[in-house]
Structure 1
Amino acid sequence: MTFPFWMLIIVLAIAAFSIRVLGLFAGDAIKASRFSWILDDLPGLIVVSLVAASLANQSVGTWLAAAAALAVAYVANHVILTMCVGVAAYGGLVWLGF
């Protein structure tokens, strides 16, 4: 490998390490501030944003399957059951032509 490749690897390694260290400092600063409640809800907010982004341009069948999964999640509060119902609802809706 040539020198530019090694320099690229070193710069990317330093950047990756710096991002992690800055994240630790930012997390500690947020924990000490009045916005510490945000960290408690952050994992759920990330999951919701990922699901919402993936549903953005989907068909009606996908939205109906997501609604069925949401209903099961609300009633049962069980992750595996929610996934099974969501997949089964999506499969059934695709089979029906939605």
Structure 2
Amino acid sequence: MSGQYWAVIGLLAIAAFAIRVTGLIAGGRIRASRHAWVLDDLPGLIVVSLVASSLAGQPLATWIAAGVALGVAIGTNHVIATMALGMAAFAGLGWLGV
């Protein structure tokens, strides 16, 4: 490999390290501020945003299966049951031709 490739690899390594250090510093400052409550809700908000964006533009069967999964999640608070019954609903709706 030429020196240019090593330079790019080195630059990317420094950038990746800098991103992580910046995240640590920013996280520490947020935890010390009055906005610390945001970090407590952030994982759930990320999951909800990922699910919502993946449902956009999907057919009705996907929305119904997501509703079934939401109902199971609220009723049982069990991740594996939620995934299993949501997938079963999706497969069943597909089998029925919905």
The answer, yes or no, to whether TM exceeds 0.5 is: yes
Aligned residue-pair number = 98
Amino acid in structure 2 at the alignment position of 1:40: D
Amino acid in structure 1 at the alignment position of 2:97: G
Mapped to 2, the partners of 1:11 and 1:53 lie a distance apart of 33
Corresponding position of 1:62: 62
- TM-score under structure 2 normalisation? 0.98
Mapped to 2, the partners of 1:22 and 1:44 lie a distance apart of 23
1:57, distance to aligned residue in structure 2 (A): 1.3
- List gaps (5 residues or longer) in structure 1: none
**Percent identity of paired positions between Structure 1 and Structure 2:** 62
Q: CA RMSD in A?
A: 0.5
- TM-score under structure 1 normalisation? 0.98
Q: Is 1:79 matched up with 2:79? A: yes
Mapped to 1, the partners of 2:14 and 2:57 lie a distance apart of 37
Q: Is 1:91 matched up with 2:91? A: yes
Corresponding position of 1:41: 41
For the residue of structure 2 that corresponds to 1:68, the secondary structure is helix
- List gaps (5 residues or longer) in structure 2: none
